[in-house]
Amino acid sequence: MSAQNSKAKQLIILSGKGGTGKTSISAAFAHLSAAHANSHPMVFVDADVDAANLSLVLEPESLEPKEFWGGSLAEIDPEKCINCGACSPVCRYDAIFPDPKNDQVQWIDPIACDGCAACVYACPEGAISMVRQHEGNWFQSNTSFGMLFHAELFPGRENSGKLVTLIKQQARLYAEDIQSQCVVIDGPPGIGCPVISACAGTDLGLIVTEPSLMGLHDLKRVLGTLRHFHVPAVVCVNKADIYPEGTRAIREFAAAEGIALIGEIPYDEKIPRAMIEGKPVTVLFPDSSAAKAIQEVWHRTFALLHLQED
Ligand code: SF4
Ligand code: SF4
């Protein structure tokens, strides 16, 4: 495959919940990618816009924020409101109350408002308007391993899926500009709206799971999401040796589902130590058992995506 003439592949790394070691593996992938594919640098996305943490490990150089404007919410102009009460009954989200600062006018709770605009049409005074919301910021940051796209959604905001889509688009455009081979996406935990946005259009999903009943359950849920988008999936088990029965159950499940188990990473206290130090484990402890196992997973993933090493 020539990286010069083809679109960058998209790899998404997922887990059903937080704390499985997904970000540790993503950070190590960033380091290994930089070490092995220097002439085709990879591009990274932290798609966990509610609690981004890949940026903590990759030490971004520039954090100049760009504003993310999401949907619109209703706001009442207290100068125009005559407190007629026509708006409150039409709101199916119980978002309209007497203003706590002035009970002579109505007020809209921005957390409860869904932005349906029904109240705008109900108001005889034209006192209600829809106002676009600054819901978060996104960043394009240089790291020693490549460009990282990440974001923060403000608390209480709900457009995490849109924000994930935005930073993925920006990352893909940048990847095209620099003729990168691959965009590596550290996916959000769970299977909600941001995960769906993060999965769409990707070429391969690497599911990181743990050897437990909950790990198997989460694996099934994430696999279902990837299959919905026709994204091929592979799995790796983190802390595989702490509960061999659990790892065996995951092996059997993967075989029955026809998905490759491409790595079993042993429990290694070097992983949390590296996270505390804010570095990929492959940088700080390259000879540790976890770093070596992650390296194998990375090589297999690299091969599955048909990427070129320098
Ligand atoms: S926009 Fe819809 S949800 Fe928001 S206050 Fe008006 S009626 Fe309620
Ligand atoms: S309908 Fe308009 S004027 Fe009447 S209470 Fe609501 S905001 Fe005020």
User: Are 122 and 189 members of one domain?
Assistant: no
271 lies in some domain: yes
User: Are 101 and 151 members of one domain?
Assistant: no
Pocket test for ligand 2, best of 75, 80, 87 (most atoms within 8 A of CB): 87
Alpha-carbon distance of 189 to 271, in angstroms, equals 19
Q: DSSP letters along 48-100, please?
A: -TTS--HHHHH--S----EEEEEEEEEEE-TTT------SGGG-TT--EEEET
Residue 141 parent element (H or E): strand 128-143
CATH of residue 158: 3.40.50.300
User: Are 94 and 164 members of one domain?
Assistant: no
User: Are 236 and 95 members of one domain?
Assistant: no
Boundary (domain end) residue, out of 134, 162, 188: 134
Which residues does 173 contact at the CB level (< 8 Å), separation at least 6? Answer: none
Is 65's pLDDT higher than 50? yes
pTM for the whole structure = 0.85
For ligand 2, say whether the CB of 81 is within 6 Å of any of its atoms.
yes
92 lies in some domain: yes
In which band, very low, low, confident or very high, does the pLDDT at 4 lie, cut at 50, 70 and 90?
A: very low
Q: Decide: 54 and 146 in contact? Cβ < 8 Å.
A: no
CATH of residue 92: 3.30.70.20
Least trusted range by pLDDT, from 88-97, 180-189, 249-258, 281-290? 180-189
Of 173, 183, 182, 180, whose CA–CA distance to 39 is shortest? 180
Which residues does 58 contact at the CB level (< 8 Å), separation at least 6? Answer: 27, 30, 44, 141, 143, 144, 145, 148
Boundary (domain end) residue, out of 112, 134, 156: 134
User: Are 245 and 116 members of one domain?
Assistant: no
**Mean pLDDT over all residues of the chain?**
89
User: Are 206 and 255 members of one domain?
Assistant: yes
For ligand 2, say whether the CB of 226 is within 6 Å of any of its atoms.
no
Residue 272's domain comprises: 9-59+144-304
Is 10's pLDDT higher than 90? yes
Q: How many domains does the chain have?
A: 2
pLDDT value of position 109: 95
Minimal-distance CA residue to ligand 2 atom 1 = 123
Which strand ranges, in their side-by-side order, compose the sheet holding 260-265? 66-76, 128-143, 146-153, 43-46, 182-186, 9-14, 204-209, 233-238, 260-265
Minimal-distance CA residue to ligand 1 atom 2 = 116
64 lies in some domain: no
Is 201's pLDDT higher than 70? yes
For residue 79, which ligand has an atom nearest its CA? 2
Residue % of the chain over a pLDDT of 90: 65
pLDDT value of position 177: 92
1 lies in some domain: no
Residue 139, classed as helix, strand or coil, is: strand
CA angle 99, 104, 107 (to 5 degrees): 25
Residue 144, classed as helix, strand or coil, is: coil
81 lies in some domain: yes
- Which residues' Cβ are closer than 6 Å to ligand 1? 74, 90-91, 93, 95-96, 108, 113-119
Overall average pLDDT of the 96-123 stretch: 94
pLDDT value of position 6: 64
User: Are 163 and 15 members of one domain?
Assistant: yes
The Å distance, Cα 127 to ligand 1 centre, comes to 13
49 lies in some domain: yes
Alpha-carbon distance of 208 to 171, in angstroms, equals 23
User: Are 234 and 111 members of one domain?
Assistant: no
Q: In whole angstroms, how large is the CA radius of gyration of the chain?
A: 23
User: Are 163 and 300 members of one domain?
Assistant: yes
Please, where are the H alpha helices in the chain?
22-36, 54-58, 118-122, 160-177, 193-199, 213-228, 244-257, 270-277, 281-284, 289-304
Task: Compute CA 107 distance to the chain's CA centroid, rounded to the nearest angstrom.
Answer: 34
Overall average pLDDT of the 288-292 stretch: 96
Q: What is the pLDDT of residues 210-264, one digit of tens each?
A: 998 899 999 999 999 999 999 999 999 999 999 999 999 999 999 999 999 999 9
**Phi-psi category of residue 8: left, alpha or beta, with phi > 0 → left and psi -120 to 50 → alpha:** beta
Q: What is the pLDDT of residues 75-90, one digit of tens each?
A: 999 999 999 999 999 9
Overall average pLDDT of the 32-54 stretch: 81
User: Are 289 and 267 members of one domain?
Assistant: yes
For ligand 2, say whether the CB of 76 is within 6 Å of any of its atoms.
yes
Alpha-carbon distance of 199 to 225, in angstroms, equals 8
Boundary (domain end) residue, out of 134, 158, 189: 134
The Å distance, Cα 109 to ligand 1 centre, comes to 9
Is 25's pLDDT higher than 60? yes
User: Are 199 and 224 members of one domain?
Assistant: yes
pLDDT value of position 308: 64
User: Are 121 and 219 members of one domain?
Assistant: no
Alpha-carbon distance of 140 to 122, in angstroms, equals 43
pLDDT value of position 38: 57
Please indicate whether residue 183 or residue 7 has the higher confidence score (pLDDT): 183
